[in-house]
Amino acid sequence: MEITEKTINDVEIVFLNGRLDAYNSNLVENKLDELIDSGKIKMVADLSGVEYISSSGLRVMLSSLKKLNKLGGTLKLSSLQPYVMEVFEIAGFTQLFQIYDSEDGAIASF
């Protein structure tokens, strides 16, 4: 799992590239927690590079969303691959997350 990030205005964009599964979910969770702990509360997770997400990956996304909501922030998702979007739909997570077709759309929504 490759994790890169950049900041545009006061929005932190986190790019995930690889499989978001049980093996990699701790890496992603640690990175998101690190950003949240450093005061970043407006986040976009760009999932254009994620071709697979497991229940562990969903748990990490939900956990980060809950932490950010408590702090008055949020986690928005962008650029989901069709399979990943399907997993979010089946899990009912499309009701919980704001999902955008593009990173730009997600950033503009803040």
For the stretch 73-76, contacts whose Cβ atoms lie closer than 8 Å and that sit 24 or more positions apart, written own/partner, are: 73/36, 73/40, 73/41, 73/42, 73/43, 74/41, 74/42, 74/43, 74/98, 75/32, 75/43, 75/44, 75/45, 76/43, 76/44, 76/45, 76/100, 76/106, 76/109, 76/110
d(CA 41, CA 49): 23
Which fold is adopted by the domain 2-108?
A: Transcription Regulator spoIIAA (3.30.750)
Strand partners, 50: 18
What is the pLDDT of the chain when averaged over all its residues?
A: 97
pLDDT tens, position by position, 3-47: 999 999 999 999 999 999 999 999 999 999 999 999 999 999 999
Residue 23: predicted pLDDT = 95
Q: What pTM does this model have?
A: 0.96
* Tokens standing for residue 49: 């590079």
- The domain locations on the chain are 2-108
Residue 53: predicted pLDDT = 98
Residue 89: predicted pLDDT = 98
Does residue 75 contact residue 65 with C-beta atoms inside 8 Å? Answer: yes
